[in-house]
Amino acid sequence: MSHFSNIKTQIRNLTSLKAALTDLGIDWKEGPTTVRGYQGQTRTAEIVIEQDNNHDIGFSWNGNEYELVADLQYWQQPLSVEGFLRKVTQRYAFHTVISESVKQGFQIAEQQKNEDGSIRLVVQRWSA
């Protein structure tokens, strides 16, 4: 029986996910590569975060979104699973908004981090 848990996310853009993890100072490896789990069990994922206890965290494409794949019993991160996903999702959303804005001809005019941890972005586009 597998010890791995798959946690659904709203993450669909691999480039924004990589940028989010990098922003958060998380060391990750690009796959497809192996996520190590309990008693030698493995899964394949596009992004793998190795942990010191040899039980990894991965982000695996399920055909619709990137799911977090991990043996939660061996979670070894400074934040809880929920806290980790909250931080990753916020940085992911930030990078996705910026990327899509630039594609549509906008530039970042202002960026502000609020006391509650939220981010305020102002984008602008000049027309001829």
Span 40-83, pLDDT tens digits: 899 999 999 999 999 999 999 999 999 999 999 999 999 999 99
pLDDT category of residue 1 using cuts at 50, 70 and 90: low
What percentage of the chain reaches a pLDDT higher than 70?
A: 98
* Cβ pair 106, 122 in contact under 8 A: no
Closest CA to 75 of 66, 85, 65: 85
Q: Rounded to the nearest 10 degrees, what angle do helices 81-103 and 14-23 cross at? A: 120
Which has the minimum average pLDDT: 11-20, 25-34, 77-86, 115-124? 115-124
